[in-house]
Structure 1
């Protein structure tokens, strides 16, 4: 397949301020693990500068091998029972206003990691009562009782990503499927939590398919949506079909807001936790 050159609008400059500099110093000094730095997020400077960071729990190895994701895949190590405390202490040390927690998939565990998730969120609440929490969770294979363990900790925002439109979902997601993800969103919403999801574009979807996904999400109670450009992590991953122009991202935002989403973050560099701290103030 012909390589598509990255356009100018995907080039970034990481700005700094005193808050960013102090956060970076703490992360480096204490060797804290954030997905912001390990995932080379293009918005790291902006988020750290606003007192927001994202942590990945459950280890560094995922049991799934999605074709868009650069996370290591294979047989994970046992869960670290001290991780909930360590994550909470890191958030406390960094004096974060807003923390986003995500994880690898742990299909190797009997409860798929649900109890570890719940313990982490409860510990953050106990140690960092002034920090708001967003949890970006896996699908727990659609098991409602496992998802409920996480819901019952009542994070401020509970997010699960659709990743892409219905047609492309089976092409890039190794285990998760479109309808199971909608079921997760619906259960979150029915429990009175703020439901959020995100999709990537540039995988070969059409604008009509993006709108269909918007409609499906709204119908199942999603109120916050992020839309960002898919970037191929390596040559072995799913290829970029198109770099979507910023004007089209703006159209997606306008369409989503007109359809009824409370918040739509749509842009080439938007990621799941982009402007996460603002979503609580707006919603």
Structure 2
């Protein structure tokens, strides 16, 4: 494993190493040129921000500090985060606040649907915080949001990025029955990192969830994503690809992990663009219909364009069969 001290020559140790997240990686790494983006200043960005605020909505773009927010919001693309701003889990990579969530907002499905209509979205991504406090993990709320969008913006295709609904019997089936166009559930990292990076989740439960979606409705596209730079080994990433293909997942995204604050898991390594290209090539050879792998790739970045390419890839594969 490559540590931060291995990659920053001559870096001094901090005065108070006991305050670091991990003693073997005590410092934040400087971002390389290929990961840097400009601060958003465009008129389109401001317009999208106003629509989001006026409909009393939360976006993962803001909550997770996505580096692509300027580009996406300028084009009036946003990923809506439902069920509040407070998550019941405390993943080491995520900047969303952890605590006791507020009750669900019964007006949220209509507010999301109206925002989708106002923005004229052809494709929308809906994600959420983890709601382990709810009997169904928020599955019914996902369904209500999907149904509201179908009513107010029937021409909009819908992609959902869900929690794992761990130990919530029947929750997944509710959401699949609402027939989203794309069902996304991120693995986030390789299994060896789960105890430190994603302690509330179970790797093979997530694999099984994605497999189950296809068993219930093979017409729904499935998608998953990971971050690299968290200390994973290359062979672990390749095995993860095989695990996803065994679950018949269609679309894989791979992006660079960026440390939100000093309290979060450190960046172990900034993966260069050529390694992302190599991962993309290998993933396609393993049978994924779509692969997006780059330092700035995020689950919902270019989601609309990617959905069109995903449909075209399936059609081409069907014709060739």
TM-score category (smaller protein): over 0.9
Task: Identify unmatched segments of 5+ residues in structure 1.
Answer: none
**CA–CA distance in structure 2, aligned partners of residues 233 and 218 of structure 1:** 30
Shift of 1:24: 4.2
Aligned to 2:294: 267
RMSD: 1.9
Aligned to 1:52: 77
1:222-237 correspondence runs (5 A): 222-237=249-264
Q: Is the 8 A contact 2:276 2:294 kept in 1?
A: yes
Aligned to 1:100: 125
Q: Is the 8 A contact 1:201 1:229 kept in 2?
A: yes
**Once structures 1 and 2 are overlaid, which stretch shifts more, 178-187 or 89-98?**
89-98
Q: Is the 8 A contact 2:55 2:112 kept in 1?
A: no
**CA–CA distance in structure 1, aligned partners of residues 279 and 189 of structure 2:** 14
Residues 144 and 195 of structure 1, relative CA distance in 2, 3 Å threshold: farther
**CA–CA distance in structure 2, aligned partners of residues 215 and 118 of structure 1:** 30
Residues 260 and 50 of structure 1, relative CA distance in 2, 3 Å threshold: farther
TM-score (normalizing by structure 1): 0.94
Residues 95 and 14 of structure 1, relative CA distance in 2, 3 Å threshold: farther
1:197-212 correspondence runs (5 A): 197-212=224-239
Structure (1 or 2) with the larger CA radius of gyration = 2
**CA–CA distance in structure 2, aligned partners of residues 207 and 223 of structure 1:** 21
The size of the alignment, in residue pairs, is 283
**CA–CA distance in structure 2, aligned partners of residues 214 and 73 of structure 1:** 30
Of 64, 78, 85 in structure 1, the residue corresponding to residue 103 of structure 2 is 78
Aligned to 2:36: 11
Residues 240 and 217 of structure 1, relative CA distance in 2, 3 Å threshold: same
**CA–CA distance in structure 1, aligned partners of residues 135 and 200 of structure 2:** 16
Residues 239 and 135 of structure 1, relative CA distance in 2, 3 Å threshold: same
Q: Is the 8 A contact 2:58 2:85 kept in 1?
A: no
Q: Is the 8 A contact 2:56 2:111 kept in 1?
A: no
Q: Secondary structure at the match of 1:109?
A: coil
Q: Secondary structure at the match of 1:216?
A: helix
Matched, 1:196 2:211: no
1:48-197 correspondence runs (5 A): 48-141=73-166, 143=168, 145-190=170-215, 191-192=217-218, 193-197=220-224
**CA–CA distance in structure 1, aligned partners of residues 29 and 44 of structure 2:** 37
Q: Secondary structure at the match of 1:198?
A: strand
Residues 137 and 175 of structure 1, relative CA distance in 2, 3 Å threshold: same
Aligned to 1:219: 246
**CA–CA distance in structure 2, aligned partners of residues 168 and 24 of structure 1:** 35
Q: Residue deviations 1:130-170, cap 9 Å, x none?
A: 11110000010054521010001111101000000111122
Shift of 1:211: 0.5
TM-score (normalizing by structure 2): 0.83
Shift of 1:31: 5.5
